[in-house]
Amino acid sequence: MPFFVALCLLLAIIVQTGSPLQAILVSPIFIYVGLAIAIAIIIGIFFKRLPEKTGYDLFACSALFVWFAYWKPLFVTDSPIFFFFPVYFALIVAFADLFFIGQRHKIDQDSRQRMQTIVNSGVIQPWFVMACVLVTLYFENRFIQFPTFMTLLTIRYALSGCLKSD
């Protein structure tokens, strides 16, 4: 999810520097376009019409835009979550990419079969996790749910990345 990591870091810089771009990013157009893209990606993943790797990246970017545009006006001006959440997301995705997906060639066959069993069981479908991420955006008073489900999405992304063929 390279675009998502770059977007997270860019958003953290925009917030930390107090850039006037924040006023543009909180406009309702980012909510509506972001939601439309996110829903289209969920549908594309559900019907397997969209490559998962692209879907994860685009969904995470659109969810980040919706989160920022919807939540920023509801919190105090200097709320630290708008700096720390994007940094956390960038770090967790980079960690998953480097230490799990990047090291997938070191996974033994038994572990790979167990991971494939989890994927085949349908317990953690990517479209379902993505839908849960969107639902958590509505509950701004429970602000820890969004990063929790984004972390679960990152875990599912790492699982998919570890199982894909080289």
- The torsion angle over the Cα atoms of residues 147, 125, 57 and 5, rounded to 10 degrees, is 30
Q: Which two tokens stand for residue 7?
A: 């977007």
User: How many angstroms separate the Cα of 149 from the Cα of each of 25, 112, 141, 160?
Assistant: 22, 24, 15, 16
- Decide if 59 contacts 130 (C-beta within 8 A): yes
- Which residues have CB under 8 Å from 2's CB, separation 6+? 57
**How confident is the model over 4-60, as pLDDT tens digits?**
999 999 999 999 998 899 999 999 999 999 999 999 999 999 999 999 889 999 999
**Is a pLDDT exceeding 90 seen at residue 123?**
no
| Type of residue numbered 27 | S
pTM: 0.91
**Any idea where the domains of the chain sit in the sequence?**
2-163
Residue 166 pLDDT exceeds 60? no
Cβ–Cβ < 8 Å for 21, 10? no
b/e map 43-68, b = 16+ CB within 10 Å: ebbbeeebebeebbbbbbbbbbbbbb
